[in-house]
Amino acid sequence: MSVRTLPLLFLNLGGEMLYILDQRLRAQNIPGDKARRVLHDIVLTMFNKSFIEELLKPQELYSKKALRTIYDRLAHASIMRLNQASMDKLYDLMTMALKYQVLLCPRPKDVLLVTYNHLDAIKGLIHDNPPLLHLVDETFRQLIEVYGCLSAGEFQLIRQTLLTFFQDLHIRVSIFLKDKVQNSNGRFVLPVTGPVPWGTEVPGLIRMFNSKGEEVRRVKFPHGGNYVIAPKEGSFEVYGDRVLKLGTNMYSVNRPMETHTSGTSKNLASQTQQSIAPNPLAKEELNFLARLMGGMEITKPSGSEPGFRLNLFTTDEEEEQAALTRPEELSHEVVNIQATQDQQRNQELARIMGEFEVKDQPRWSASKGDDLLAMMDEL
């Protein structure tokens, strides 16, 4: 497992979160000031200097439940509120999109280009906010410093760590199903067309060499695909042409995004058992959450500014049903970690987790545009 995977995972999933929220805010004609406030507050939290510094420290990738807690906090960094069922659906869309991108990376190092595509798009969302742009550019520079010197083998380990994290997730997404890049069982279809990895040749030729390293024979074979040479390598600098399109905003075209959890109840039970089983890294996860979440600076909504609730389902009834059918053990509302008691850490995490609670619930307006009850009615 690579100790350099966490920053790439967090930034890419955060980018996907912003893509989804931006698309739905636009689709529902939410007032520009509210939409801007939500996106900018989330970006401010994501790229907080102390948080990024903590994120970039070498550390192992912990459980899905621990990481999910970070995204719960991130999604509530502004005036927008989601209940657990809606957050589940948002997180499902985020994770499946990134899984698809990692699977399709032509070479392991291109995982970094996927990250840069997300950061480029985020800069487009905050183009009118120079302080936020500076924070994202500073993160760019830190990523270049950390990852610019890694070998191909280290990037391969990072990619394998990401694929291990995603391997049990098989959630169907309508965009992928309609584009026929995902099967009905939730597994992705890998293409046999397009450019080959930069620095490689189109398959179909076998070269044989003698003991002196001289080529003595060539044999051609049918590869069954439609490959082409990569036109050029993507830029790994702060500014430049990434060439690779993975990680760009696939929601820029208004399309419905429905998710369906595939698999049987047996699979859910297996995942549940895994989530509540004793974890030898539990104490480290507790410390990890306390450090990361402690670095997040959440902007509290002012008393005079009304908040709004985001519903990722067509109706409130669907949202309630989704919450009822989700196994209780998979709930992300409370992180239950069995570990040796560490009173100081437990108190610190309890204080941080307490900030998740919205004590002053805003009055929900009956207007569809204001309260976003049907904001994700196509999701």
pLDDT digits (tens, 9 = 90+) for 98-107: 999 999 999 9
pLDDT digits (tens, 9 = 90+) for 4-35: 999 999 999 999 999 988 887 787 777 888 88
Q: Does the pLDDT at position 370 exceed 80?
A: no
Q: Does the pLDDT at position 335 exceed 60?
A: no
Q: Does the pLDDT at position 289 exceed 60?
A: yes
- Is residue 129 one of the residues assigned to a domain? yes
pLDDT, residue 324, reads: 62
pLDDT, residue 323, reads: 59
Ranges 83-87, 108-112, 127-131, 289-293: which has the least confidence: 289-293
Asked if residue 110 lies in contact with residue 240, where contact means CB atoms within 8 angstroms, the answer is no
**Mean pLDDT of all residues in the chain?**
78
Using alpha carbons only, give the angle 65, 66, 70 rounded to the nearest 5 degrees: 110
pLDDT, residue 85, reads: 78
Ranges 47-56, 60-69, 74-83, 283-292: which has the least confidence: 283-292
pLDDT, residue 253, reads: 65
pLDDT, residue 86, reads: 76
- Is residue 225 one of the residues assigned to a domain? no
pLDDT digits (tens, 9 = 90+) for 303-320: 556 665 554 555 555 556
Q: Does the pLDDT at position 265 exceed 60?
A: no
- Is residue 273 one of the residues assigned to a domain? no
Asked if residue 335 lies in contact with residue 66, where contact means CB atoms within 8 angstroms, the answer is yes
Bridge partners of 261, per DSSP, are 171
- Between 303 and 143, whose confidence is greater? 143
- Looking at beta carbons, which pairs linking 11-14 to residues 24 or more positions away fall under 8 Å? 11/46, 11/115, 11/118, 11/119, 11/139, 12/98, 12/101, 12/114, 12/115, 12/118, 12/247, 13/71, 13/94, 13/95, 13/98, 14/42, 14/46, 14/71, 14/74, 14/118
Question: How many whole angstroms separate alpha carbon 75 and alpha carbon 79?
Answer: 10
HEC letters along the chain: CCCCCHHHHHHHHHHHHHHHHHHHHHHCCCCHHHHHHHHHHHHHHHCCHHHHHHHCCCCCCCCHHHHHHHHHHHHCCCCEECCHHHHHHHHHHHHHHHHHHHHHCCCCCHHHHHHHHHHHHHHHHCCCCHHHHHHHHHHHHHHHHHHCCCCHHHHHHHHHHHHHHHCCCCEEEHHHHHCCCECCCCCECCCCEEECCCCCCCCCEEEEECCCCCEEEEEECCCCCEEECCCCCCCCCCCCCCCCCCCCCCCCCCCCCCEEECCCHHHHHHHHHHHHCCCCCHHHHHHHHHHHHHCCCCCCCCCCCCCEECCCCCCHHHHHHHHHHCCHHHCCCCCCCCCCCCHHHHHHHHHHHHCCCCCCCCCCCCCHHHHCCCCCCCC
Q: Does the pLDDT at position 361 exceed 70?
A: no
Ranges 80-89, 122-131, 191-200, 222-231: which has the least confidence: 80-89
How many separate domains does the chain show?
A: 1
- Is residue 352 one of the residues assigned to a domain? yes
- Is residue 34 one of the residues assigned to a domain? yes
- Is residue 372 one of the residues assigned to a domain? no
pLDDT, mean of residues 56-67? 86
pLDDT, residue 377, reads: 44
The total number of residues written for the chain in this structure: 379
- Between 191 and 62, whose confidence is greater? 191
Phi, psi angle pair for 206, to nearest 5°: -110, 125
- Is residue 222 one of the residues assigned to a domain? no
The parent domain of residue 108 ranges over: 5-192+237-253+308-356
- Is residue 92 one of the residues assigned to a domain? yes
pLDDT digits (tens, 9 = 90+) for 157-176: 999 999 999 998 999 998 89
Half-sphere exposure at residue 320, Cβ-oriented, CA atoms within 13 angstroms: 4
pLDDT digits (tens, 9 = 90+) for 240-258: 999 999 999 988 765 556 6
Half-sphere exposure at residue 307, Cβ-oriented, CA atoms within 13 angstroms: 19
pTM, entire model: 0.77
Ranges 35-49, 174-188, 333-347: which has the least confidence: 333-347
Q: Does the pLDDT at position 180 exceed 70?
A: yes
pLDDT, mean of residues 61-73? 84
